[in-house]
């Protein structure tokens, strides 16, 4: 929590006080099955759209019936429900003369059923990367919500919800990152592109905020009455309020929003916001005040803890602007140590505990509206100089098995002493106040990959361990 200090002479604005992710995902990919499904799908496309969609629905139903009659049905009830849901969706789309979409849904249903019948596991559609606070998930539309963790795979039709002061990061198979804010409810809604057979990543947001950072592919966020498409290499914040209204703010690259019922799309460029009603009526574009450049402290700067330690914050001046400064122990800013409006471009805080802190600044426009926040910077408070000089013991370092998130993505994590710095393949990892750490690592080499993890305490003592990650050729 943050406390405001009133002593002007010390020029201190706050005291910061401490508030004390290899389970392996199934990788049994049925190459012959998928290749056969791909050929089947391509072959079926060549005919009349209506007849090919109708044939796809019939084939999907046969596979669904075969799964229901199999001896292993009890082991695959969740797959059956997902396949049934997609088959029902295919029929509904067919009735609405949306033949390409109906065919895609039927193909998805067919693939789920055939994979389950063959004893294989589908590759997950999404994966929790980070979980902070009260985050829960529900498998499909059945059963209750359960506590989420980073080992929980998510599939089309699954739900995710976050509580007060909670947040989560979801990573899809193509590397797109969805950051879910507090008090949110959304559904994983992965579609199959009829033209390419590739999955198109998306979520359907009922309420709450989600920020999407795409890689090489675009991603979609569906909201009440609208559909938002975030183009490749872009970042966009999408929020749905309690009245089901939609807000879209692009902070990097480009996004577009269009009515769900059809109509012209509106392009939302970087630094621009637009709102829409639950009926899909899109308002006017508004340019927002962009965040200032952060000056101090430097990113990943380390401070030695002393009785009079003071951390000075500074950022670039923007004419006729005021600002919001946020400091948190969470890089997702789930909880805030400081959340203050500032007229000046500086602030100071007296820090009384070790650990990592994250800070960011937003600009308040002339109309009083807060623009998007800057990318965060991190600083770390290490143990005092005297304690460090007397310490000659290497820090403890315990590693978890490398956790495969799908494709070339792995989560490397473990624990060390609070206050220590951890490097994974020479890149610094986030170390929490309890000493736990994790980092998303991408491997581009097929075969054996070495991972070197190094922990360094404030006295300079270090412990080095290594792991081996094997990437199989697809």
182/210 Cα distance (integer angstroms): 9
**Which CATH number describes the domain made up of 2-20+290-382?**
2.60.40.10
Q: Residue 146: which of 156, 159, 129, 164 has the closest Cα?
A: 159
Q: Average pLDDT of 387-404? A: 81
Rama region for 97: left / alpha / beta (φ>0; ψ in -120 to 50; rest): left
Q: Crossing angle, helix 31-45 and helix 99-117, to 10 degrees?
A: 160
The DSSP code sequence of 281-312 is: -B---EEPPPPPPEEESPTTEEEE--TT-EEE
In the chain, domain spans? 2-20+290-382, 31-117, 133-287, 391-471
Q: What is the pLDDT of residue 82?
A: 78
Q: What is the C-alpha to C-alpha distance for residues 173 and 92, in angstroms, rounded to an integer?
A: 28
**What's the mean pLDDT in 251-271?**
93
Question: Residue 73's pLDDT is what?
Answer: 77
pLDDT tens per residue across span 324-361: 999 998 888 988 999 999 999 999 999 888 888 999 99
Is the pLDDT at 43 greater than 50? The verdict is: no
- 375 is written with which tokens? 């990318």
Tell me whether domains 31-117 and 391-471 share a fold.
no
Look at residue 16 in the predicted model and tell me its pLDDT: 63
Task: Please give the CATH number for the structural domain made up of 133-287.
Answer: 2.60.120.1440
Tell me: pLDDT of 189 over 90.
no
Q: Which of 13-22, 180-189, 191-200, 347-356 has the weakest average pLDDT? A: 13-22
DSSP state of 8: T
Q: Per residue in 36-49, is it b (16+ CB within 10 Å) or e — as a string?
A: ebeebbeebbeeee
Contact between 250 and 235 under an 8 Å Cβ cutoff? The reply is yes
Q: How confident is the model at residue 464 (pLDDT cuts 50, 70, 90)?
A: very high
Q: What is the pTM (predicted TM-score) of this model?
A: 0.67
How deeply is 18 buried, as exposed, middle or buried, from its count of CB atoms within 10 A (0-12, 13-18, 19+)?
middle
Three-class SS state of 228? strand
Q: What is the rounded average pLDDT of the residues 449-470? A: 87
Q: Select from 2.40.128.20, 2.130.10.10, 2.30.42.10, 2.60.40.10 the CATH code of 391-471.
A: 2.60.40.10
Q: For 30-44, 76-90, 91-105, which range has the lowest pLDDT when averaged over its residues?
A: 30-44
The mean per-residue pLDDT over the stretch 158-172 comes to 91
pLDDT level of residue 450 (50, 70, 90 thresholds): confident
As a CATH number, domain 31-117 is 1.20.120
Task: Taking the CA atoms of 423, 427, 430 and 433 in sequence, report the sign of the dihedral they define.
Answer: positive
- pLDDT value at position 245? 96
Distance of CA 362 to the CA centre of its chain: 21
- The pLDDT, as a whole number, for residue 7 is 39
Assign 426 a pLDDT band (cuts: 50, 70, 90): confident
DSSP 117: H
Residue, of 68 and 266, whose pLDDT is higher: 266
Contact status, residue 166 vs residue 134, Cβ threshold 8 Å: yes
Which range of 141-145, 197-201, 312-316 scores highest in mean pLDDT? It is 312-316
- What pLDDT sits at residue 266? 96
Is the preceding omega at residue 154 within 30 degrees of 0, hence cis? no
Whole-angstrom distance, CA of residue 330 vs CA of residue 308: 24
CA 394 and chain centroid, separation? 34
Apex CA 40: angle with CA 38 and CA 44, to 5°? Answer: 120
Instruction: Give pLDDT, residue 384.
Output: 55
């Amino acid at each position: 929590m943050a406390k405001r200090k009133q002593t002007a002479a010390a020029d201190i604005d706050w005291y910061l006080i401490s508030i004390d992710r290899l389970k392996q995902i199934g990788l049994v990919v049925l190459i012959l099955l998928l290749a056969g499904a791909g050929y089947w799908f391509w072959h079926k496309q060549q005919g009349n759209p209506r007849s090919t969609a109708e044939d796809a629905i019939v084939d999907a139903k046969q596979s669904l019936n075969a799964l229901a009659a199999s001896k292993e049905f009890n082991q695959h009830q969740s797959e059956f429900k997902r396949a049934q849901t997609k088959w029902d969706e295919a029929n509904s789309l067919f009735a609405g003369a949306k033949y390409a979409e109906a065919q895609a849904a039927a193909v998805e249903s067919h693939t789920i059923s055939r994979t389950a019948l063959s004893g294989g596991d589908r590759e997950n559609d999404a994966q929790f990367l980070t979980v902070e606070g009260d985050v829960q998930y529900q498998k499909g539309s059945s059963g209750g919500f359960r506590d989420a963790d980073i080992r929980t795979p998510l599939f089309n039709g699954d739900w995710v919800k976050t509580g007060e002061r909670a947040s989560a990061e979801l990573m899809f198979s193509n590397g797109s990152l969805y950051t879910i804010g507090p008090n949110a409810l959304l559904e994983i809604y992965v579609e199959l592109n009829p033209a390419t057979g590739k999955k198109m990543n998306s979520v359907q947001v009922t309420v709450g905020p989600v920020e999407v950072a795409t890689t090489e592919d675009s991603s979609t966020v569906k909201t009440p009455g609208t559909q938002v498409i975030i183009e490749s290499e872009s970042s966009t914040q999408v929020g749905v309020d309690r009245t089901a209204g939609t807000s879209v703010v692009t902070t990097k690259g480009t996004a577009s929003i269009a009515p769900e019922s059809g109509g012209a799309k509106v392009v939302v460029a970087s630094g621009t916001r637009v709102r829409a009603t639950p009926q899909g009526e899109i308002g006017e574009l508004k340019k927002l005040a962009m965040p200032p450049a952060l000056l101090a402290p430097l990113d990943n700067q380390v401070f030695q803890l002393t009785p009079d330690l003071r951390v000075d914050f500074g950022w670039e001046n923007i004419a006729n602007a005021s600002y919001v400064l946020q400091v948190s122990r969470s890089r997702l800013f789930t909880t805030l140590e400081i959340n203050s409006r500032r007229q000046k471009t500086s602030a100071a805080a007296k820090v009384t505990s070790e650990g990592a802190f994250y800070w960011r600044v937003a600009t308040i426009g002339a109309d009083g509206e807060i623009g998007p926040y800057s990318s965060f910077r991190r600083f770390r408070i290490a143990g005092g100089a005297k304690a460090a000089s007397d310490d000659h013991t290497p820090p403890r370092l315990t590693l978890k098995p490398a956790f495969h998130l799908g494709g070339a993505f792995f989560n490397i994590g473990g624990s060390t002493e609070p206050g220590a710095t951890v490097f994974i393949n020479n890149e610094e990892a986030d170390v929490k106040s309890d000493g736990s750490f994790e980092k998303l690592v991408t491997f581009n080499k097929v075969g054996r990959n070495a991972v070197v993890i190094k922990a360094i305490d404030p006295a300079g003592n270090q412990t080095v361990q290594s792991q081996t990650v094997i990437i199989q050729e697809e």
